[in-house]
Amino acid sequence: EHGITKPKGYNVSFHYNPDMEKHHFGMTHPMKPWRLTLTKSLVSAYGMNFAMDNYTARAATYEELTSFHAKDYVNHLATVAPQPQPLDMENPNPDLRFNLGGSDCPLFEGLYNYCSLSGGASLDAARKLCANQSDIAIAWGGGLHHAKKAEASGFCYINDIVLAILQLLRIHARVLYIDIDVHHGDGVEEAFFSTDRVMTVSFHKYDPSNFFPGTGGLEDNGPKSEHNPGAHHAINWLFETIITRVVEKFRPGAIALQCGADSLAGDRLGKFNLLVQGHSSCVEFCKKLNVPLIIFGGGGYTPKNVARAWAYETAIAIGHQHDIPTQIPIHTPWRDRFKIDSLLPTIQQILGEPRQNRNTQKKLSEIVQHVMEQLRFVGA
Ligand code: TV1
Ligand code: CA
Ligand code: ZN
């Protein structure tokens, strides 16, 4: 009697594999694949699965992984032995092949399986869009935006987003990538630096000396060469104003949206101020653009908040955000883990005292101004 039904002629697909959550980065590591279990439990408790096509994602094949990643890197990932003990920030490993085995990217049991499952879900999602069988395809297990061609970085080993965008490019002339994780989407940006068929827009906290990965400043708009068609196709930072103009100029055939939930208030790593309402309004905005949309997860280090955001964003995708009760259903597994029984807690409930907004109006208009100038170089 949840009243959640499927809208006629509008398809949402949900790509998920419960095996992903069984993997552990280590006790003290902030990345908890278990947050996907919590997300799925909320999505199911609300009955949202009745309004979508649900798929158990398969693992990406070696051929699929090497459609972007270097073979020697993927071979190493497939064969390397797990570390006997994970390292932490106090005990770094001085000799890292492919940046693997340090504190950020530990070599844990089943790593290759974890990577292939994340990649497989995002690839399945992309293929549903390409086959015109979904209008919105969701892969919360993906969004691992820091992974490079032959290097792990920032909790990311395989860049499932790049794999998915490469699929979308088979069908679509131009793909827009948007990234609302609190960190800079450097791996996706770098992968498409020299093409004008993918525009990457990352919103993030930028503080080169104190915040990972330190890239993604305003001047970082793609290599500035007359002969590089990728120039001016990487713009960072502010949502509606910017995305509206970007879409007008770039006219993407599909949009790939990374929804890292570490930009939410109360995140263990992010230290940002967004409510689920603000974070998810980005999803709502992208949905209204009426372009095939693929949605990925990403960061998010306070599992209860991650689950709230991704469940609410799933509700937006299926168009039920206004008719679901904001009280978390009684029969939700692990309901006590949510502490506050609302799906949409207030800033007072999360932080007590809200954080000060240290972006000045002047700085914000400078950013918009700068982006608008860059956009003069984009499109026909
Ligand atoms: C083990 C145990 C690892 C505790 C890592 C926070 C830990 C961090 C840990 C951590 C941590 C980072 C750096 C330092 C660069 C390194 C999924 C000089 C309490 C997409 C990745 C952030 C974010 C990496 C990933 C960052 C994503 N912050 N405790 N590590 N070196 N790494 O700063 O964008 O969300 O913090
Ligand atoms: Ca970002
Ligand atoms: Zn992040």
List C-alpha distances in Å: 340 to 41, 73, 328, 333, 362: 16, 43, 9, 15, 37
Residue with the smallest CA separation from ligand 1 atom 15 is 212
Q: How far is the CA of 197 from the centre of ligand 1 (A)?
A: 31
* Structural domain contains residue 6: no
Ligand 1 pocket, mutate which of 83, 104, 156 (most atoms under 8 A from CB): 104
List C-alpha distances in Å: 182 to 259, 280, 373: 9, 14, 24
* Structural domain contains residue 380: no
Please tell me the number of the ligand nearest to residue 211's CA. 1
Residue with the smallest CA separation from ligand 1 atom 20 is 299
How many other C-beta atoms can be found within 10 angstroms of the C-beta atom of residue 45? Answer: 19
Q: How far is the CA of 3 from the centre of ligand 1 (A)?
A: 41
- Residue 331's identity, in one-letter code, is H
pLDDT score for 224: 72
Residue with the smallest CA separation from ligand 1 atom 5 is 104
Q: How would you label 219-258 residue by residue, b for 16+ Cβ within 10 Å and e otherwise?
A: ebbbeeeeeeebbbbbbbbbbeebbebbbebbebbbbbbb
* Structural domain contains residue 3: no
Q: How far is the CA of 204 from the centre of ligand 2 (A)?
A: 4
* Structural domain contains residue 4: no
Q: State the Cα–Cα distance between residues 52 and 271, nearest whole angstrom.
A: 33
* 268-311 pLDDT per residue, tens: 999 888 999 999 999 999 999 999 999 999 999 999 999 999 99
Ligand 1 pocket, mutate which of 236, 269, 296 (most atoms under 8 A from CB): 269
Residue with the smallest CA separation from ligand 1 atom 27 is 299
pLDDT score for 234: 72
Residue range(s) defining the domain that contains residue 242: 12-375
* Structural domain contains residue 83: yes
Q: Which residues line ligand 1 (CB under 6 A)?
A: 28-30, 88-89, 103-104, 144-146, 154-156, 181, 183, 212, 260, 262, 269, 298-299
How many other C-beta atoms can be found within 10 angstroms of the C-beta atom of residue 94? Answer: 5
Of 29, 145, 172, 184, which residue is the catalytic one? 184
* Structural domain contains residue 2: no
* Structural domain contains residue 136: yes
Q: How far is the CA of 307 from the centre of ligand 1 (A)?
A: 20
* Structural domain contains residue 350: yes
Please tell me the number of the ligand nearest to residue 206's CA. 2
List C-alpha distances in Å: 94 to 88, 90, 104: 12, 12, 13
SS3 97: helix
98 class by beta-carbon count within 10 Å (0-12 exposed, 13-18 middle, 19+ buried) = buried
Question: Measured over all CA atoms, what is the biggest interatomic distance in the chain, rounded to whole angstroms?
Answer: 60
Q: What is the number of the ligand 1 atom nearest to the C-alpha of 156? A: 17
User: The tokens of 354 are what?
Assistant: 């809200």
338 class by beta-carbon count within 10 Å (0-12 exposed, 13-18 middle, 19+ buried) = buried
Q: How far is the CA of 85 from the centre of ligand 2 (A)?
A: 31
Q: What is the ipTM of this complex?
A: 0.99
Residue 83 CB contacts under 8 Å (≥ 6 apart), including other chains: 101, 106, 107, 108
Please tell me the number of the ligand nearest to residue 146's CA. 1
Domain CATH code at residue 359: 3.40.800.20
Is 146 an annotated catalytic residue? no
Q: Which residues surround ligand 3, an ion (CB under 5 A)?
A: 181, 183, 260, 262, 299
Number of domains in the chain: 1
Q: State the Cα–Cα distance between residues 218 and 242, nearest whole angstrom.
A: 13
Q: State the Cα–Cα distance between residues 105 and 223, nearest whole angstrom.
A: 28
Q: How far is the CA of 261 from the centre of ligand 2 (A)?
A: 10
List the chain pLDDT tens, one digit each, 380 residues: 568 998 887 899 999 999 999 999 999 999 999 999 999 999 999 999 999 999 999 999 999 999 999 999 999 999 998 987 766 766 666 668 999 999 999 999 999 999 999 999 999 999 999 999 999 999 999 999 999 999 999 999 999 999 999 999 999 999 999 999 999 999 999 999 999 999 999 999 999 999 999 999 988 888 777 787 887 777 667 899 999 999 999 999 999 999 999 999 999 999 888 999 999 999 999 999 999 999 999 999 999 999 999 999 999 999 999 999 999 999 999 999 999 999 999 999 999 887 888 888 899 899 999 999 999 989 86
